[in-house]
Structure 1
């Protein structure tokens, strides 16, 4: 992208019954955010105005028809630009409940933002959390954002990475990223999905992302699947038959991968600077460890897409929605990370 302008980042509103609108409204006035990007919310203007009032801010929502409008509309303190998407029936959905109406609105916002990013009308997408149940109730059978975005972008090799920026509970100069070989699926299914090819692919994606985030030669720690890394085959042979061969293949390709390493100590080593990236075998193996380090500061980055996409690492928080107490650290970090990645776009 041009160095003469700030990147335009689309912030999808997420589920209107959750904390997404409030988090966006509370983040909008942060001077650092306004200094690094031109944000544009994709969602319902009236919901956003309600969220602004909830956080006792003086934001005025300004409706735009397309990202091109931002070129003629100057960024103004206290003005939130919004591109309307979806039906106004979301206005009738109570806070903190799963509803097909909010699921449909969230789906339309994600779809619109992705289309604009693919067309290079915007420079990146930052998503507020959605409810998978509401998404399914609206007839969209996706496990989550990651799989939906991969389909919209037409890619088959992708992964979710949870990322902590430099200095946030880690000593890596580029920050610490954890990619997942399997993601939103049952444990039984995850075991069947493991393969040498899948592990190598995630090592490559993790290496590529950490390079984009500033580490020229990323060190990738690859987690074992079984306790004690299988204890020489006593507790399972996946380390010997899948993970170790994958690590050897990754190194033969020029990556700096180490493993399989016992998962219960791998993240400690990564936190202390031994690795820049970690490849976990399944969702909770990576998520629990990284979120214990710094949940609110974690950023969800989708690897393998032709567009920039980041998100908060938390969910809709229905139990706290529309109470004026939602945490904003994750959204700030997600926007900062997206802005950094957007600067590398051609």
Structure 2
């Protein structure tokens, strides 16, 4: 029996960026409608303009609530917040109205998710400078979602071609990141990563922790972090029933995960995991924010102001983002980590 299609909300992102374009290109694809019911949260005028830019054969259906959507190929269901003055919209430009608009689309999408009216969010790019111009007090999606959903320290996971990557540290200098690689943190993150995959419906969860130094330090020959911090953290997680091994040398662990040996890798720092994912397939690397009361997937690229409004942007990432949300949404559990 076919799985019932779930409603995936798509806040359209910064109106001056590529978000509306890639969303409209994605909604010309039958495979999207085969697996979910996509709902745009945005501004009807901007959406109609984006449809024109990408030369799509789409009709807009304004709805007041998710339950009213048609969810048929050829029709774009939109909750219209009507918050953009088209006379002042300039593609590729930082704008307070666009920053405020992008925030309001996300806020509405979160409200719908918290109320159970949509099953997941698939987010498009927003612009930090436009948010700042609008005096929106967040630097990005994660901080915004954390506050709006009253969550604590959301956990980022990348997925690309079935390979999943978590991050022990993210936006820190490498020197500062190494200081955060403690046995306590490794232990805690392995527990949180296991719970995150459990919420996504992944069974038989197997983890690897990437090494920091060449050959994972070779027993202290090339550094002591693995011996003194990383390995003890893994051992503590094993005692708690987490199926984890490592540290596995970083030059091989991602290849092994890509080929099915592990269900996820815990990357120790930002670029270690980002490079592995994006070299595997840049356009299909999707970010999943765990630890929220709802499922959220996101493209892992920006607003691309330099090509906005020109029908140049590829929609592969957006399509993958929606499809991944649809894949995980039916099994996703709403309890927090």
TM-score, normalised on structure 2? 0.90
Residue by residue, what CA displacement relative to the aligned partner does 1:192-238 show, whole Å, maximum 9, x if unpaired? 44433432333234334444556421221111233442343455433
Q: Aligned residue for 2:296?
A: 309
The 10-residue stretch of structure 1 (199-208 or 284-293) with the greater mean CA deviation from structure 2: 199-208
C-alpha change, 1:223 and 1:198, in structure 2 (3 Å) is: same
Say whether 1:256 aligns with 2:243. yes
Say whether 1:321 aligns with 2:308. yes
- Out of 187, 191, 211, the position equivalent to 1:200 is 187
Consecutive unaligned residues of structure 1, counting only runs of 5 or more, are 169-174
C-alpha change, 1:101 and 1:194, in structure 2 (3 Å) is: farther
**Offset, 1:27:** 0.7
- Out of 294, 300, 311, the position equivalent to 2:281 is 294
1:121-270 equivalence runs, <5 A: 121-164=117-160, 168=161, 175-211=162-198, 215-270=202-257
C-alpha change, 1:91 and 1:39, in structure 2 (3 Å) is: farther
**Offset, 1:242:** 2.5
Q: Aligned residue for 2:16?
A: 17
**Offset, 1:56:** 0.7
| RMSD, aligned α-carbons | 2.3
- Preserved contact between residue 44 and residue 82 of structure 2 (Cα < 8 Å): no
- Preserved contact between residue 30 and residue 73 of structure 2 (Cα < 8 Å): no
- Preserved contact between residue 182 and residue 281 of structure 1 (Cα < 8 Å): yes
TM-score, normalised on structure 1? 0.87
**Offset, 1:254:** 1.4
C-alpha change, 1:268 and 1:130, in structure 2 (3 Å) is: same
Alignment partners' CA distance in 2, 1:255 and 1:195 = 18
Q: Aligned residue for 2:259?
A: 272
C-alpha change, 1:108 and 1:90, in structure 2 (3 Å) is: farther
Say whether 1:108 aligns with 2:95. no
Q: Aligned residue for 2:26?
A: 27
C-alpha change, 1:87 and 1:179, in structure 2 (3 Å) is: same
**Count of equivalent residues:** 332
